[in-house]
Homo-oligomer: A and B are copies of this chain.
């Protein structure tokens, strides 16, 4: 018989999940409510309104996928792509590669635009790809590559994509609520995020939003969406307030938590929250660079909330990372793909984005690396 669960209290400074506010944990522990309860329908309406507000969008088709960010990614692609479609997918890390994999599973022809990991995608690369594929259904790229720590500028690319008549799909899993992300102003047609990064809710949910042009694309599909669970022609009726139709059973507790995390973001204010992430990022750099840590990404494209840093020369990253966890209960992330064993991914996201967090990490590292 397994023993009662007593998880060790960690300090979460990896690529997510981040630390969660006590009010959010308290909301998770509220007694449940039926997912068709009129009071719960109102809570979902408020969650939708707060997702719109935090994404800076008026998009009517804004909702939360009842599954993690990867399912949000799949939601965007399976609904917008069907067999025979062409698309351009930009790859400069793990998550661009994942988008290409999903798009191929949708039966689309995928044109890949590659940049070195740690670099961003240049507008000229999109132009050149459009030269070989003049009428793609969509162009997809990652706003904040969690595998590399690069922050992708989107505005110029958005113009290029729309001038070609394509839809712009953006992965905002790690950028949402941590750095500026302006869905309507930047004309993003489909965006998905995750709950466990700068929003600081538990993992398991993916906020998603579709523009009116993206909705038109949904409405002119010739085939059924290959996934029943992610089919927006069904899901949208589950997020339509008073007129809602049963689809699946929403994860009630997780939505309670999301509600509270969104409320806390709005209480702080988006601008202040973005500024906090920038400021604590600088504080982290000031502490770690003198110890010999070096950033992978050049300064102007650095994601403030996810810091990819090479360790000081001669330091065994796996050994120190494990000691940080075992002795100090601090989690940082290792590298993915080509960066495995070479760098760390240090997250300062949401509730984990404080001077205290940086000081706990820096203090522990001074002991471990000396």
A145 lies within 8 A of chain B by Cβ: no
B203 touches A250 (CB 8 A): yes
Contacts of A31 in B (CB 8 A): 7, 9-10, 19-20, 25
B228 touches A227 (CB 8 A): no
A289 lies within 8 A of chain B by Cβ: no
Complex partner residue of A4 from B28, B247, B260, CB under 8 angstroms: B260
A172 lies within 8 A of chain B by Cβ: no
A34 lies within 8 A of chain B by Cβ: yes
A325 touches B68 (CB 8 A): no
A29 lies within 8 A of chain B by Cβ: yes
Determine the distance from Cα of A34 to Cα of B33 in the docked complex, in whole angstroms: 28
Query: A304-340 toward B: CB 8 Å interface, digit per residue (1/0)?
Result: 0000000000000000000001000001010010000
A283 lies within 8 A of chain B by Cβ: no
A251 touches B5 (CB 8 A): no
Determine the distance from Cα of A35 to Cα of B188 in the docked complex, in whole angstroms: 30
A124 lies within 8 A of chain B by Cβ: no
Query: Which interface residue of A31, A50, A266 has the most chain B CB atoms within 10 A?
Result: A31
- Nearest residue (CB) in B for A98 is B228
B105 touches A227 (CB 8 A): yes
Determine the distance from Cα of A250 to Cα of B195 in the docked complex, in whole angstroms: 12
